[in-house]
């Protein structure tokens, strides 16, 4: 099969590799679509994990083979995959810190080499501990929607960490694909979202995704304006969907006492930033983070996406064939004004060949 193999920093090669062989209890999925995710881009551009690997973890496709002891799945099922599933039994899981669980940290979906998601390949093997996270895609929904369950899950998980009441005011900084999903999910819950971005058309888009107000992130009076919009009190919470320390400082300044700033895009360790710890202690402005998904929210996520209460389809602006995955990643890492979520898809030729 064709696969896009990571061979080193910024080195992705289209190679022919063996179709993964499944063991009993597993399933083999022919990949239909895989979303390009910033966490993969980080690994590819910064070489944070050893090569070779086949990345891609926002995957959907069709089951083409089931193992002898696999229960609950059939050949032909269209499915969305979930590459991290916690054990639900360890110390971390009892504290619902699923992303810190050892089982969760193991990647259970692979197209070969060290398991790394494998969505940038024609077929992936799903190991038994990941099967509880496999969701069937309804007939009326697309592979695109199946592939986007994972990013939506990570956002719902983050929102659940914020102590919010209906009608609260939340700043969502950054209106890329992740920021727009925050804007929509928060507004669905009756939260008034103030969306900020540097790009005018993203600010406009934020309004169609449910933002109450949208503001230019570069305006010099941004903090005052945020306070003015929130009855001089300050916003109840801020979601930071851009990896900028300056934006975090702004958010902390615009927050009301007892509010929370949630970091979602600061995914690289080892960089420090000055923080006024007195503001955290005396003003009780908490600084928190959220990473990755919560498997227990998967049903709710599937309901939101498949019933199109959260219609993710307009989020995808560009689609690339598998052989052009490197171009998809390049575009995603340097977004243009009109690019949002980018998808790697299988070409019709591949689908036809498989069908014959």
**In angstroms, what CA-CA distances link 221 with 9, 216, 217, 224, 254?**
40, 10, 10, 5, 11
E-strand ranges in the chain read 2-8, 11-16, 27-35, 58-66, 78-80, 109-110, 123-126, 135-136, 169-173, 192-197, 213-216, 235-240, 255-263, 286-289, 316-321, 341-345
* 138 vs 286: CA distance, rounded Å: 40
Contact region with Zn ion (CB under 5 A), list: 5-13, 29-37, 253-261, 344-352: 29-37
Among 3, 93, 239, 301, binds Zn ion (CB under 5 A): 93
Entry field: residues in the chain: 356
Residue 86 interacts with Zn ion (CB under 5 A)? yes
101 or 322: whose CB is closer to Zn ion? 101
Q: Helix %, strand %, coil % for the chain, to 5?
A: 35, 25, 40
Q: Least separation, in Å, of the C-beta of 94 and Zn ion? A: 8
Least Cα distance to 293 among 82, 115, 60 occurs for 82
Say if CB 235 and CB 170 are below 8 A apart: yes
How many chain residues touch Zn ion (CB under 5 A)? Answer: 6
Residue 111 interacts with Zn ion (CB under 5 A)? no
Q: What Rg value do the Cα atoms of the chain yield, rounded?
A: 21
86 or 146: whose CB is closer to Zn ion? 86
Q: Least separation, in Å, of the C-beta of 225 and Zn ion? A: 32
Question: Hey, CA dihedral for 106, 108, 302, 351, is it positive or negative?
Answer: positive
* 175 vs 229: CA distance, rounded Å: 19
Per-residue tokens: 36: 């390009």
22 or 147: whose CB is closer to Zn ion? 147
* 299 vs 134: CA distance, rounded Å: 10
Q: Least separation, in Å, of the C-beta of 148 and Zn ion? A: 10
Q: Least separation, in Å, of the C-beta of 213 and Zn ion? A: 28
Among 3, 12, 101, 195, binds Zn ion (CB under 5 A): 101
Say if CB 171 and CB 249 are below 8 A apart: no
Residue 34 interacts with Zn ion (CB under 5 A)? no
Q: Least separation, in Å, of the C-beta of 181 and Zn ion? A: 11
Contact region with Zn ion (CB under 5 A), list: 20-28, 92-100, 195-203, 226-234: 92-100
147 or 251: whose CB is closer to Zn ion? 147
Contact region with Zn ion (CB under 5 A), list: 31-39, 164-172, 189-197, 235-243: 31-39
109 or 251: whose CB is closer to Zn ion? 109
Contact region with Zn ion (CB under 5 A), list: 96-104, 110-118, 329-337, 339-347: 96-104
Say if CB 171 and CB 251 are below 8 A apart: yes
Residue 171 interacts with Zn ion (CB under 5 A)? no
Say if CB 84 and CB 92 are below 8 A apart: no
Say if CB 143 and CB 25 are below 8 A apart: no
189 or 267: whose CB is closer to Zn ion? 267
Residue 87 interacts with Zn ion (CB under 5 A)? yes
Contact region with Zn ion (CB under 5 A), list: 86-94, 113-121, 171-179, 209-217: 86-94
87 or 351: whose CB is closer to Zn ion? 87
Among 4, 37, 116, 137, binds Zn ion (CB under 5 A): 37
Say if CB 259 and CB 235 are below 8 A apart: yes
| Cα end-to-end span (Å), the chain | 16
Contact region with Zn ion (CB under 5 A), list: 62-70, 81-89, 131-139, 331-339: 81-89
91 or 334: whose CB is closer to Zn ion? 91
User: Which parts of this chain interact with Zn ion (CB under 5 A)?
Assistant: 37, 86-87, 90, 93, 101
């Amino acid at each position: 099969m064709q696969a896009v193999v990571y061979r080193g920093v910024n080195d992705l090669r289209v190679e022919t590799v063996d179709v993964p062989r499944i063991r009993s209890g597993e399933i083999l999925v022919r990949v239909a679509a895989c979303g390009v995710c910033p966490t993969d881009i980080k690994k590819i551009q910064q070489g944070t994990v050893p090569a070779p690997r086949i990345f891609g973890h926002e995957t959907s496709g069709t089951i083409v083979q089931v193992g002898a002891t696999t229960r609950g799945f059939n050949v032909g099922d269209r499915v969305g995959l979930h590459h991290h599933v916690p054990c639900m039994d360890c110390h971390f899981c009892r504290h619902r810190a699923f992303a810190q669980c050892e089982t969760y940290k193991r990647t259970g979906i692979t197209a070969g080499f060290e398991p790394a998601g494998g969505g940038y390949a024609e077929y992936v093997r799903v190991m038994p501990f990941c099967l509880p996270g496999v969701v069937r895609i309804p007939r009326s929904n697309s592979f695109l929607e199946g592939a986007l369950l994972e990013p939506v899950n990570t956002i719902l998980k983050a929102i659940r960490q914020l102590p919010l009441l209906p009608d609260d005011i939340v700043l969502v900084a950054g209106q890329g694909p992740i920021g727009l999903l925050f804007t929509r999910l928060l507004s669905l819950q009756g939260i008034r979202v103030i969306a900020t971005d540097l790009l005018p058309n993203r600010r406009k888009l934020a309004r169609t995704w449910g933002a109450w107000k949208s503001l230019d992130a570069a305006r010099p009076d941004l903090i005052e304006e945020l306070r003015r919009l929130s009855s001089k009190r300050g916003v109840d919470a801020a979601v930071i969907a851009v990896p900028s320390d300056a934006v975090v400082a702004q958010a902390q300044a615009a927050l009301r006492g007892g509010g929370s700033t949630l970091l979602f895009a600061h995914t690289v360790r080892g960089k420090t930033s000055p923080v006024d710890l007195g503001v955290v202690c005396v003003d009780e402005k908490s600084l928190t983070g959220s990473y990755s998904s919560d498997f227990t929210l998967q049903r709710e996520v599937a309901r939101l996406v498949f019933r199109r209460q959260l219609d993710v389809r307009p989020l995808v602006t560009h689609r690339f064939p598998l052989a052009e995955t490197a171009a998809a990643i390049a575009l995603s890492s340097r977004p243009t004004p009109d690019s949002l979520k980018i998808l790697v898809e299988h070409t019709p030729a591949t689908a036809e060949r498989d069908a014959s």
